[in-house]
Amino acid sequence: MDFGMALALVGAGLAALMAGIGSAIGIGIAGKSATGVLSEKPERYGQMFIMVVLPGTQGFYGFLAAFLIMLKLNFFGPEGAITITTTLGWQILAASLPIAFAGLFSAIHQGKVCAGGILMTAKRPEMAFKAGVVYAVMVEVYAVLGLLVTMFILLKGINWPTPV
């Protein structure tokens, strides 16, 4: 186990961790608002469900990025993990950062947007999808962009050594 591998694992960890924290906070915010509205209007459950789970996607993206790194490092292959140079390690860490931070912040803010959407749904249920979900999805776009950059770097930008 050398320094390169450590950096790669920090990258994988960061991707899953940061995006996961973001999603947890985001769902927490949206969930609190949703329960608040539901305690008075339980019939709105269906409309709110999607807004509560939307901030959860960032966690998945982070997990996906982390999983991809692990896959590329050949954790699950019969030959065992590949050995990587320190430079490669830095590259992998850099690749994980877009989704880690985009995930963290976009999830929190998406949570707030969703909470706002949920509050609006309490008053104007017909706008739930038109505004509430669409606006939340706009925040989602930037998490997706982060994920895309991470994926491009991992898949195209890095010259992976073949496992021995």
Partner 1 sequence: MMLRLKAKALDFYTYPPIGGDDWRYGYAAARVRALQTQMIPKSTLVDMANAGTFEQAAESISTTEYIPVASKTLAELEQVLIAQRRSLREQFARLMIDNSIVKLFKTRDDFANMRLAVRRRVTDKAIGTDYSSQGNLNPEIFEEVFEQEKYELLGEHIQNAVEQAILAYYTDRDICRIDHIIDRAQAEYNIQTALKMKSEFLTGLFSIKIDLTNIITMLRLKFTESEKRKVFLPGGYIEIERLKQAVDTEYDSIGQLFYATPYYRIVSVGANYVGTEKSFLKAEQASENHLSGYLNTTSQITSGPQPVIAYLLQKEKEIRTVRLILTAKKNLLDKKMILDRIGE
Binding site for partner 1 (CB under 8 A): 29, 31-37, 39-41, 112, 115-116, 118-119, 122-123
- Which distant-in-sequence residues (6+ apart) come within 8 Å of 27 by Cβ? 52, 53, 55, 56, 111
Residue 121's Cβ-side half-sphere holds a number of Cα atoms within 13 Å equal to 33
Name the minimum Å distance from CB 99 to partner 1.
Answer: 24
**Nearest-angstrom CA–CA distance, 146 and 59:** 12
- Specify the residue, 98 or 111, whose C-beta has the smaller distance to partner 1: 111
Name the minimum Å distance from CB 110 to partner 1.
Answer: 13
- Helix pair 86-123, 3-40: axis angle to 10 deg: 0
Name the minimum Å distance from CB 59 to partner 1.
Answer: 19
- Specify the residue, 57 or 121, whose C-beta has the smaller distance to partner 1: 121
- Specify the residue, 51 or 97, whose C-beta has the smaller distance to partner 1: 51
Name the minimum Å distance from CB 127 to partner 1.
Answer: 13
**Nearest-angstrom CA–CA distance, 147 and 22:** 14
